[in-house]
A and B are shown apart, each in its own frame.
Chain A
Amino acid sequence: MSVSNDPIVFTGSGIVCGAGGSVAEVWGKLTTGETAVRPFTQFDPAKWPVQVASEVLLSDRDLVSDRKLHKTISRTDMFGIYAAEQALADSGLPAHRDALPETDQAAWNDRTGLIVGTGGGNYKSNYDYLPLMTEAEVSPDGALPHFGKELSNQVTPMWLLKNLPNNVLCHVGIRGQYKGTNACITNQCSSGILAVAEAACAITNDEADRIAAAGHDSPFEPEMVYYYHKLGLMSGAAPRPFDASRDGTVFGEGSAALVLERESEAKARGAKIIGEFLGFGCCNEATGIVDLADDGNGVSRAIEEAIGNAGISKEEVALICAHGNGNQASDRTEAMGILRVFGEAAPPVTAFKWCYGHLIAASGIADIVMALEVLKQGVLPGIATLDSVDPVIGAFPISRENRTVSGKVALVICRGFGGMNVVVVVRGRD
């Protein structure tokens, strides 16, 4: 697909997370070794075994200026709309469309797609029902009959719409009048990175001429922290990917987005080209909801598939942005998968979750956005929380310090619940 003579390029990017509301802000944190994992504020951490997260500090108004919309969307949707519209503005496409003759705009809109990856339903949304449950528990009518009878008096009629997993798709579409091909991917951690891959494939397949791909999530909420902790997946401090002492991940929240189009069209309209999508791989380990294969076979298969799909040799890979979530088993098997493919010749590896936490559905696409910045700047941020590489992993080319990189091809790895492994290959442009 990627060997087509009209490459698929990125012409706009956007991000919002605990580390900031723009690529430049997040880049500043990543390269100065400053983590955005902090004591959280959305509920009182005093009694909790985990007291940190990487929260977005922007207000709802900063995220989405239209206050009417706030009543009909949830927190994760705010992030998604913010990043998607930032990426679209960065690409210059809305202004380009508006400058077209009015008669051409409808056809342009029909050929403009949106593909969004989301974390899906959250726990908090259901808390709207709790006051009614309290009342229902003591009702002489019986709890459920009372619940049903009083429902419309106590809960917003917009409840369902506020919690639709495809809200970002819906509202970015309505606000921008984009009407082309679309998808909403609900594949937990893999959602956002798959949105980028599917967007590239859709343009190659001529389903659309340009697509904004976004991933968004707000996993940070009490029940999620509780269960991740109970399953042994959560650390009490900024994650330490691949470190011997790593003890889990930490939630972030936020969104990232990329605009993709054909190089010929980007050049024709004089757009800035950030980088190029080369290919991807997607391999499942068939291990169930949370378990991982012991040997990292899904990681190595996805890397091989991605490299083959990109039509490059593995020697061309200049750097790897790993999933590196800071969990014992995940980091160990991820390193095994990388080393199985690259052996001693593995290119420099880094990971970003020590800085902005684990964005779950947005994590893979956020890592692509930052990988493109790495290629642009020629600097690979170190893992600031790294003390010593886990000896179980063995020789592994990661560093606490920033490193200079000269090559132009980056590999981004994203792993997720459900035995998922997705790998995307991108090339930087000068």
Chain B
Amino acid sequence: MARPNKRRIAVTGLGLVTPVGNDVDTTWSALLSGKSGSAPIASFDASGFSTTFGAEVKGFDPEAAIPNRKLLKYASKSHRFALAAATQALADAGMAPTDADSHRWGLSVGAGMLSVDYEDLKVVHRHAAADGTFNADGLMDPGFPGNPLAFCRWQANAGQALLTKQFGIRGYATSVHTACASGGQAIGTALKVMRRGQCDVMLAGGFDSMLNPLGISGFCLLGALSTDNDNPTGASRPFDLTRNGFVLGEGAGFLVLEDWGRAVARGAKIYAELAGDGNSLSAYRITDSPPDGNGPIQAIHQALGDAGITPGDVDYVNAHGTSTQMNDRSECAALKAVFADRIDEVRVSSTKSSMGHLIAAAGAVEAAVCCLAIRDGVAPVNANYGTPDPDCDVNLVVGQPVRMKIRAALSNSLGFGGSNSSLVFRNPEEVQA
């Protein structure tokens, strides 16, 4: 297939803070073996909630992980994960913006949706709603300790602002949010910005933390989380017949995207080519995508077309695979429609089986996983798989990671609200061939 004349974009750095590890190597080795990051929630008393467990980031020390400590007072938990993962990614790429080129550097992030946390809301409650009804005049009470730092922290683009400041990025910068598709769409946006020549290097990723009382409340109310409170490590079981909801995770993932020629010229290590982006709207229901895969199918086809490859070139799919009944069925229908008679040759796994669902960060973290899978020639496992679901009969990686040459990998992210994102990564050996 003739490749359109598009600027080629290399992935030259990765950074991860996830429930199974606070850096790339630790996360990757946990995902290969299917180690679970899910456990009873430790950061607050979740005993009353219908779900009492989640996949929390553990042992994270922001003071050690983030170079510019002055930014910490403005940084929420998810911003801290972002600053740490982005720092790792740039160190891995072995470069940083300079005065001479900072205007050619860009940033594109998928940011979480929360506007305040429970502790902030408690302050408002105490002063302006003690009886449960909000009265605006309470904010005018001289005793109201309104904290402008908290206000800054919860601005929709606060994470983006902290990242551009930390690294001195002066070109294009943006934040996107399409729920669970945010991270994928952020990376897709970066690809477009670079292809049209607006930046030469971009930091692209996602960050989120909804593992707090207000965040988990939204999902508990909706009944979207697994309630296997007596079995946290086995609760996320994408594509298993007995799956009963997702496991809420948190964290951040960042990729350094660089003009291919620039990366080659400086002798950078290239994980993969970020070759294609596709996105579509299911226009079906807020929480579900259609059982026949209409919506995700178009996103996958677009991404393959954008990459200039065919379904026959894809060896591994990092599935969205949330472990909810509807998502997994719809996604498998889409994969079967796209890969048709090749469906058994394509290995599929959802790494949410290990690290849970990182919401706005999920697509970015899973994009990084695709790059690692290509680099090492190994597909990570779909953990906790036991009972086959006839609607989800794709060729899952079960039990052990599979050693295999991956020519191209597909990463899907399908969000509440119906936004679907697919990304295609190609093996650099294929690109050079």
Contacts and interface: CB of A to CB of B under 8 A. Distances in A.
Interface of A: 1, 43-44, 47-48, 72, 109-110, 113-114, 118-123, 125-127, 129-135, 137, 141-142, 144-152, 155-161, 163-167, 169-170, 173-174, 176-188, 190-191, 194, 198, 201-202, 204-205, 207, 222-223, 226-227, 230-231, 282-290, 298, 301, 361, 416-420
Contacts of B50: 148, 151-152
A124 to B, nearest CB: 8
21 contacts: A110-B298, A120-B115, A120-B156, A129-B121, A130-B134, A132-B132, A133-B132, A134-B129, A142-B45, A159-B221, A173-B418, A174-B283, A181-B302, A186-B156, A186-B175, A187-B156, A188-B156, A222-B136, A226-B146, A289-B74, A289-B162
Contacts of B49: 148-149, 151
B244 interface: no
A149 B283 CA distance: 34
Contact of A282 (B113, B172, B284, B298): B172
A293 to B, nearest CB: 10
B398 to A, nearest CB: 32
Contacts of B137: 44, 47
Contacts of A110: 280, 298
A417 B155 CA distance: 8
Given A144-B48, A181-B280, A187-B175, A223 B156 contact: no
Given A133-B121, A186-B111, A144 B44 contact: yes
Given A47-B140, A141-B48, A282-B172, A131 B284 contact: no
Interface string B59-100: 000000000000100100000000000000000000000000
B114 interface: yes
Given A131-B133, A187-B175, A289-B152, A223 B214 contact: no
B284 A148 contact: no
B139 interface: yes
A156 B168 CA distance: 43
Interface residues of B, number: 92
B103 to A, nearest CB: 7
A144 B213 contact: yes
Given A121-B115, A133-B122, A179 B162 contact: no
Contact of A159 (B46, B140, B217, B283): B217
Interface string B133-161: 11011011000001010011111111011
A148 B46 contact: yes
A169 B415 CA distance: 12
The 8 closest A-B pairs by CB, nearest first: A121-B115, A148-B48, A120-B156, A160-B218, A418-B161, A145-B48, A148-B49, A131-B132
Interface stretch (B176-184, B230-238, B251-259, B307-315): B176-184
A298 B173 CA distance: 12
A257 B124 CA distance: 34
Contacts of B213: 144, 147-148
B148 A151 contact: no
B175 A121 contact: no
A179 B296 CA distance: 10
